[in-house]
Amino acid sequence: MAPQVQIIGVAGMRDVRPGDDLAALILEAVRGQGADIEDGDVLVVTQKIVSKAEDRLVDLRQVEPSTRAQEMAARMGKDARLLEVILRESRRIVRQEGGVIICETKHGFVCANAGVDTSNVGGGVVSLLPENPDESAERIRAAIQQEKAGASVAVIISDTFGRPWREGHTNVAIGVAGMRPVKDYVGETDPHGYVLRVSTMAVADELAAAAELVMEKLSRVPVAIVRGFDYQRAEGSARELIRPRERDLFR
């Protein structure tokens, strides 16, 4: 039979607050729409609600910008306190031009503003990426598996990143638990006996992108269930998706 995958948006979650039990809120919302989490599901959770639950929020009014942040802010016409937060989250500035600042975060992700985000938070407060998104994913996974005894699920924490060469943003995986984030075709041959040129697919990123199709930014769908995708069960980590600097021609 033809393979089939379903992407189910999880709506109806209330605003997440610091200290909330995300797994419980997600399960409640899933069940509230008459569904449930099933064995083999991949749960894609947007970074924003994870950061809120983990209190990764910074009130800009309490930030003292460094001299470097002040200089950059003046040059870029930006808020020095915001730049201070971005610099604190960064291991390195990869590119900076005009109003755009591409950072390598402490996790090793390359993205605009080191993932520091002013939207969907409110009141001069910005959100940071989770400190350890793999651990965030694992906590949700473990809690759901405990509640759903016997079910094996994978969890992906997703964020919206830009990329070089192509317009528009896509969702990618910044945290992974319960699955291998890549799928290898190494040494496999196609039906003509040729060794496949493309050997590794970033399936966790493709799952995050697929989930975004039901995650309308304005309609409060912060979680999606991807059902029917045959992933490889493993501990998993989004670190496998970060290209080491020495193998990267663009860093």
Residue 64 or 246 with smaller CB distance to its own copies: 246
Residues paired with residue 57 on neighbouring β-strands, in sequence order:
127
Can residue 75 be called a binding residue for its own copies (CB under 8 A)? no
- Asked whether the beta carbons of 108 and 238 are under 8 A apart, the reply is no
Among 33, 55, 74, 146, binds its own copies (CB under 8 A): 33
Footprint of its own copies on 145-164 (CB under 8 A): 160, 163-164
- Asked whether the beta carbons of 116 and 82 are under 8 A apart, the reply is yes
- C-alpha–C-alpha distance, residues 105 and 89, integer Å: 6
User: Which residues fall within 8 angstroms of residue 38, CB to CB, at 6 or more apart?
Assistant: 151, 227
Least Å distance, CB 110 to its own copies, is: 4
Q: Can you read off the two tokens belonging to residue 169?
A: 């943003």
Among 9, 65, 130, 133, binds its own copies (CB under 8 A): 9
Residue count (the chain)? 251
Footprint of its own copies on 100-129 (CB under 8 A): 100, 102, 109-110, 113, 117-123
Size of the site for its own copies (CB under 8 A): 80
Footprint of its own copies on 171-230 (CB under 8 A): 171-172, 181-182, 185, 188, 190-198, 200-203, 205-207, 209-210, 212-214, 216-221, 226, 229
Least Å distance, CB 226 to its own copies, is: 8
Least Å distance, CB 195 to its own copies, is: 7
User: Which residues fall within 8 angstroms of residue 154, CB to CB, at 6 or more apart?
Assistant: 41, 42, 43, 141, 176, 177, 178, 179, 231, 233, 236
